[in-house]
Amino acid sequence: MKFSLVRRCHHRLSPSKLSFMASLTTQTPTPTPTDEDNLDDLLCPSTAGSATAAEIGEEREDVEKASFLGHPNGYLGGEAGIERAWAHWRKLGQPGLMVAPMVDCSELPFRMLCRKYGAQAAYTPMLHSRIFTENEKYRSMEFTTCQEDRPLFVQFCANDPDILLDAAKRVEPFCDYIDINLGCPQRIARRGNYGAFLMDNLPLVRLLVEKLARNLQVPVSCKIRIFPDLQDTLKYATMLEEAGCSLLAVHGRTRDQKDQRKLRADWMAIRAVKNAVRIPVLANGNIRHMDDVNSCLEVTGAEGVLSADALLENPALFAGFCTAEWAGEGEDGTKDGNLDQAELLVEYLKLCEKYPVPWRMIRAHVHKMLGEWFRKHPEVREDLNAQSRLTFEFLYDMVDRLRQLGCRIPLYVKESSNSEIVPAANGDVPCSL
């Protein structure tokens, strides 16, 4: 399947589901995180002790008993579960172009910007399930959404099925999947025993998935990394499917392959997973422009792709725009797309005025979107870094200043492209949550 540049119509949230009002975030300046590890550290203090093997045995018995008593969901393994997984995916319009989960970076205004420019679904940043259940401030700061923010995957890290279920129940009316982070490879995840470190405890992973699949109305998805050995990856994926996972996003790198800019993702391993399971599969890794999207879908046979790093620099990636770095790639020539990152940043800032988020997130996006611009005018970056407290006025003025300095770095589109960007309604819809 080739993706065209025309936006699809997203499904809408029914008004009855709009009762949840997350309080607006306080705008507090914080230092700019510089890498994924630091971003993680900001959010994810260690999870309290995880389950022992004996506890897992008891928990499994409970889960099995509960299944005889009936459950609301039925997103379980087996034929019916697979059919429901596909029915749900189709009901959402088979969204194939996705904003990947990114701590501090896939927050509401950024998701809305990407949706306007072709993203068909999005993940929240990873939320820490235990803190989410315990701390009201964390909930209202870290999870905000609105009517147009759909389809939405809400991602949690966890190692306790009951706590995960409690966290998931709080957000299930406002999303389309509850996602379990099984891929975070950072030190903080090792300390907290979650993310990719649960690959060492697959019985616990099974329990997490089963618990949600049996007790939620919305389906469960998982985002995984691959094992060094392909057979281990395939066993892992089929176990998740049997446990009730309805959609699998596969990042084609192992837990130890952290340098994603240097190490290419293994699309052939993703293809093998796609062939081994019967639920929808999304491919993740090395999606930098639309040619990558189409090659990845062709190679892997996946239903869709997730992009992370490249979207941060170019949130209009899924609308067919690419940065100068990739403009020479592919058979077609490219031309100035009449859009640039400063314009995208201004749109993002307006969305932040409407849907407030912590300043540390805004700061991170400014650096990502204007990275190339700052390389040409480092003095502007220095001024930005000197601001311990940001304001929107300062940021809009900063963009004007770059323009006055004659700085413009276009985004490019294919020479053959007559794509028209149809702005989504999100620019006009009030923040409802």
Q: Please report, as ranges, the residues that interact with ligand FMN according to CB under 6 A.
A: 36, 39, 100-103, 105, 125-126, 155, 181, 183-184, 223, 251, 260, 284-287, 307-310
Instruction: State in angstroms the smallest separation of the CB of 43 from ligand FMN.
Output: 8
Instruction: State in angstroms the smallest separation of the CB of 78 from ligand FMN.
Output: 27
Please provide the DSSP assignment of 107-125 as one string. -HHHHHHHHHTT--EEEPP
Instruction: State in angstroms the smallest separation of the CB of 248 from ligand FMN.
Output: 13
Task: Provide the pairing of β-strand 245-251 with 281-284.
Answer: parallel
Please provide the DSSP assignment of 40-104 as one string. HHHH-PPPP----HHHHHHHHHHHHHHHHT--S----SHHHHHHHHHHHHHHTT---EEEPP-TT
Task: Rank residues 255 and 381 by Cβ distance to ligand FMN and give the closer one.
Answer: 255
**Which entry of 114, 157, 184, 407 is annotated as an active-site residue?**
184
Task: Rank residues 102 and 316 by Cβ distance to ligand FMN and give the closer one.
Answer: 102
Active site residue 245: no
Query: Could you give the CA distance from residue 325 to residue 295 in angstroms, rounded to a whole number?
Result: 18
Instruction: State in angstroms the smallest separation of the CB of 103 from ligand FMN.
Output: 4
Please provide the DSSP assignment of 6-17 as one string. SPPPPP---GGG
Instruction: State in angstroms the smallest separation of the CB of 184 from ligand FMN.
Output: 6
Task: Rank residues 155 and 323 by Cβ distance to ligand FMN and give the closer one.
Answer: 155
Task: Rank residues 147 and 155 by Cβ distance to ligand FMN and give the closer one.
Answer: 155
Task: Rank residues 225 and 381 by Cβ distance to ligand FMN and give the closer one.
Answer: 225
Q: What's the full length of the chain, in residues?
A: 433
Strand partners, 98: 121, 306
Q: Which residues of 278-288 are buried (b: 16+ CB within 10 A; e: fewer)?
A: bbbbbbbbbbb
Looking at residue 322, the DSSP 8-state letter turns out to be B
Residue type, 299: V
- Whose tokens are 């949130």? That residue is 315
Instruction: State in angstroms the smallest separation of the CB of 251 from ligand FMN.
Output: 4
Q: Who's near 97: CB < 8 A, 6+ residues apart?
A: 3, 118, 119, 120, 121, 293, 304, 305, 307, 318
Instruction: State in angstroms the smallest separation of the CB of 186 from ligand FMN.
Output: 9
Q: How far does CA 368 lie from the centroid of its chain? A: 17
Beta strands in 318-429 (DSSP E): 334-340, 410-414
Task: Rank residues 84 and 236 by Cβ distance to ligand FMN and give the closer one.
Answer: 236
Q: How far does CA 130 lie from the centroid of its chain? A: 20
Task: Rank residues 181 and 246 by Cβ distance to ligand FMN and give the closer one.
Answer: 181
- Whose tokens are 């507090």? That residue is 28
Q: Helix, strand or coil for residue 412?
A: strand
Task: Rank residues 284 and 334 by Cβ distance to ligand FMN and give the closer one.
Answer: 284
Residue type, 425: A
Query: Could you give the CA distance from residue 268 to residue 261 in angstroms, rounded to a whole number?
Result: 18
Q: Dihedrals φ, ψ of 396, to 5°? A: -65, -40
Contact 230, 180 (CB under 8 A): no
Instruction: State in angstroms the smallest separation of the CB of 416 from ligand FMN.
Output: 25
Q: Which residues are catalytic?
A: 184
